[in-house]
Amino acid sequence: MFAIALTSCGSLPTLNGKSTSVSSDSNVPNTSVGTNGELIYIQSDNVQAAGYDEDSLVMTVQFDNGAIYEYYGVPADLWLSFIAAQPHPWSQVGYPRLVVAGIPYRRVG
């Protein structure tokens, strides 16, 4: 399993060109996973951006054709695997672990 931790101040690129601040407080460990639902750029052949909300377990994927889908009940390890699989996150993780596995979804855009 891959683990991604943000341990220093910085920013995550977002789809609209704005950045989301990420900070680390030395008194509070940063154990959150995801982007709080914000879409971030994904290096991929067919995915433009994706986001994950750890509280609701919703993963959002925007494809290069502009279609946006939400996937429900997505565990955090799937999100981490998706991010780690760049530049082929959809073919290596998204399609087999979301679509083939039968994770509920709907098109939202």
CA distance 20 to 11: 5
Is position 25 within any domain? no
Query: Which pLDDT score is estimated for 28?
Result: 53
Domains held by the chain: number: 1
Residue 18 to residues 11, 36, 39, 56, 95, Cα–Cα distance (Å): 9, 15, 11, 23, 28
What pTM was estimated for this model as a whole?
A: 0.72
Give Cα 33 distance to the centre of its chain.
9
Q: When comparing pLDDT for 24 and 88, which is higher? A: 88
**Higher-confidence position of 45 and 2:** 45
pLDDT tens-digit series, residues 41-88: 999 999 999 999 999 999 999 999 999 999 999 999 999 999 999 999
The answer to whether residue 97 is domain-embedded is yes
Contact 79, 58 (CB under 8 A): no
Q: Residue 75: inside a domain, yes or no?
A: yes
Domain that holds residue 98: 33-107
Domain contains 65 = yes
> Does residue 28 form part of some domain?
no
Does residue 99 sit within a domain? yes
Q: Cα–Cα distance between 39 and 47 in angstroms, integer? A: 11
Residue 27 lies in a domain: no
Whether residue 5 lies inside any domain: the answer is no
